[in-house]
Amino acid sequence: MRNFSTVAVMCGVLLAAHAGAQDARGVIDAAVTAMGTSTVQSIQYSGTGSVFMLGQNARPDAAWPRFRVITYTASVRYDVPGLREELVRVDDENPPRGGGAGGFNPATGQGGMRPILGQQTIVRQASPATEVGQLQIWMTPHGFLKGAAANNATAGGAAGRRTLAFTALGKYTVTGTLDDQNRVARVETRIDNTMLGDMLVEAIYSGYRDYGGVKFPSRIVERQGGHPTLDVTVGSVQPNGAPGLEVKVNPPGEGAQAAKSERLGAGVWLITAGLNSVLVEFADHLAVVEGLGNDARSHAVLAEVRRLVPSKPIRYLVNTHAHFDHAGGVRAFAAEGITILTHEVNKPFFEKVFALPRRINPDSLSKANRTPVVEAVGARRVLTDGTQTLELHHLRGNLHHDGLLMAYLPRERLLIQADAFHPRPGAKPYPTPPGFVVNFYETIQRLKLDVAQVLHIHGGTDPIGVIAQAAGRR
């Protein structure tokens, strides 16, 4: 009897799965008919709105900073998959806070690589040659239905709010919700992010209009990590209007970039792996300033540190601020049991993100089974052994980030900074003294720091006179 019951249960499960598959096919067919998806091989759409820079918020609990989008155009091909977005953005927030460097803004001094009335053009491309690129294509309204049909989707929900879900590339669950007219209203999945782990990515579609039998939304809102990253009002749609789209994809990387080092003074080294970190040697331990990028970069830096000073442990990693480009490699240091020093406004954020699930792409910390140690820095923190001294100072009131630290080596008269000053291409002077550079220079003066050279985490060094001139003090 037990064997019969087991077989009966198994048959019931198989029949339910078969019925679910049949139901999903019906839901997909109804949505394809409602949206005219079967005729769509490509689509091009354009509009205006806002773009928001992921991981560049002014403080850890704030939304991503906003930039106004003057023009936005997206082209998607489904026959030979590819997606290309081009947008022109303007940094017109007043006062502008946070990072993301758009067209030049005199209030912050950010941006301005090719300033045209403060505008900046950004081109983003996606291709199925990369996992995230394929997901981006499947998250478009018609792309989702094509992905659901190709990947054995299952159906759920009730009439007026039916759902379809499928597993993409063996590890991503892509879920879509249909409205009461069987149009795609929402698509979501989770992708790996260096800071937020298995990060929720959402696309919300509304205000559908008809374009020769093809339905397309008039508003698109994309969200990542709980905050909007794109909000566009669509004004023009051309079904099958992107036949010439050719997406160029950079070849896969060869792994982590090797770290190089340069001695700056007794017990001080510049370590470059794309961007800059600084190693400071004390009597019985080491400290590293800045864990940028991702796990791979941090492991390259750690390897170079241990090559330079193999006999001493790394005790501290100094994080200048919580922007993702400057903190994405912090987890690798925490996995080694290294104490993270960051401004007090960042400490709760790091403790929160260190605990987030990371199943899509487990990194060093998720494998280490270790509780990270984060110590808060207030206005000032001094590390010293009586000979070598490293001072950490808070840049109070800086528009770039509320928890921005700079590091000062008095013996070398060297100041290490991240994002409080950006050298302009060709040493071109700032049109007006930018607010965040004025704040930087005034902080140096207020603290009476004897600075000869300023080392930039994003590359290069400048004499203090360059900073003074940019701040309008010379």
Q: Of 11-15, 246-250, 344-348, which has the strongest mean pLDDT? A: 344-348
Cβ contact 470:109 at 8 Å: yes
How far is the C-alpha of 379 from the C-alpha of 110, rounded, in Å? 25
How far is the C-alpha of 205 from the C-alpha of 156, rounded, in Å? 19
Sign of CA dihedral 60, 63, 69, 72: positive
Residue-by-residue DSSP string for 190-230: EEEETTTEEEEEEEEEEEEEEETTEEEEEEEEEEETTEEEE
Query: Which of 237, 247, 242 lies closest to 211 in space, CA to CA?
Result: 237
Cβ contact 442:403 at 8 Å: no
Kindly tell me if the per-residue pLDDT of 160 is higher than 90. no
Confidence of residue 435 (pLDDT cuts 50, 70, 90): confident
Kindly tell me if the per-residue pLDDT of 145 is higher than 50. yes
Beta bridge partners of 249: none
Rounded mean pLDDT of 176-196? 97
Neighbouring CB atoms inside 10 A of 69's CB total: 20
- In total, the chain counts a number of residues equal to 474
pLDDT at 6: 46
Kindly tell me if the per-residue pLDDT of 143 is higher than 60. yes
Query: Which of 335, 304, 319 lies closest to 405 in space, CA to CA?
Result: 319
At 242-258, the pLDDT tens digits run 767 766 655 544 445 68
Return the structure tokens found at 338: 């290294």
Query: Which of 99, 107, 106, 104 lies closest to 117 in space, CA to CA?
Result: 104
Cβ contact 312:399 at 8 Å: no
Query: Which of 42, 35, 31 lies closest to 148 in space, CA to CA?
Result: 31
Return the structure tokens found at 230: 């794109």
CATH among 2.40.480, 2.50.20, 1.25.40, 2.30.30 for 23-239 = 2.50.20
The pair phi, psi for residue 75, each rounded to 5°, is -125, 130
Return the structure tokens found at 33: 């008919």
**How does 421-454 read in b/e, with b if 16+ C-beta sit within 10 Å?**
bbbbeeeeebeebbbbbbbbbebbeeeebebebb
Confidence of residue 309 (pLDDT cuts 50, 70, 90): very high
Residue labelled with tokens 């991702």 = 294
At 207-240, the pLDDT tens digits run 999 999 999 999 999 999 999 999 999 999 999 9
Beta bridge partners of 193: 197
pLDDT at 249: 55
Query: Which of 249, 245, 271 lies closest to 258 in space, CA to CA?
Result: 271
Which of helix, strand or coil describes residue 456? strand
Distances (CA, A) of 144 to 161, 164, 415: 16, 9, 50
At 37-55, the pLDDT tens digits run 999 999 999 999 999 999 9
Residue labelled with tokens 């499928």 = 166
Rounded mean pLDDT of 156-172? 91
Beta bridge partners of 60: none
Average pLDDT value over all residues in the chain: 88
Q: How is the chain split into domains, by residue range?
A: 23-239, 260-470
How far is the C-alpha of 95 from the C-alpha of 92, rounded, in Å? 8
Q: Where are the beta strands (DSSP E) in 29-100?
A: 42-52, 66-77, 82-90
% the chain with pLDDT above 70: 86
Kindly tell me if the per-residue pLDDT of 393 is higher than 50. yes
Cβ contact 216:43 at 8 Å: yes
How far is the C-alpha of 191 from the C-alpha of 135, rounded, in Å? 9
Return the structure tokens found at 152: 């054995």
pLDDT at 118: 57
pLDDT at 424: 61
Cβ contact 457:320 at 8 Å: yes
Cβ contact 374:367 at 8 Å: no
**How does 346-380 read in b/e, with b if 16+ C-beta sit within 10 Å?**
bbebbeebbeeebebeebbbbeeeeebebebbeee
| CATH class of residue range 260-470 | alpha beta
pLDDT at 97: 86
Cβ contact 471:438 at 8 Å: yes
Burial of 13 (0-12, 13-18, 19+ CB in 10 A): exposed
Confidence of residue 320 (pLDDT cuts 50, 70, 90): very high
At 277-295, the pLDDT tens digits run 999 999 999 999 999 999 9
How far is the C-alpha of 231 from the C-alpha of 202, rounded, in Å? 12
* Strands of the 268-273 sheet, one edge to the other: 260-265, 268-273, 275-281, 286-289, 314-318, 339-343, 374-377
pLDDT at 243: 67
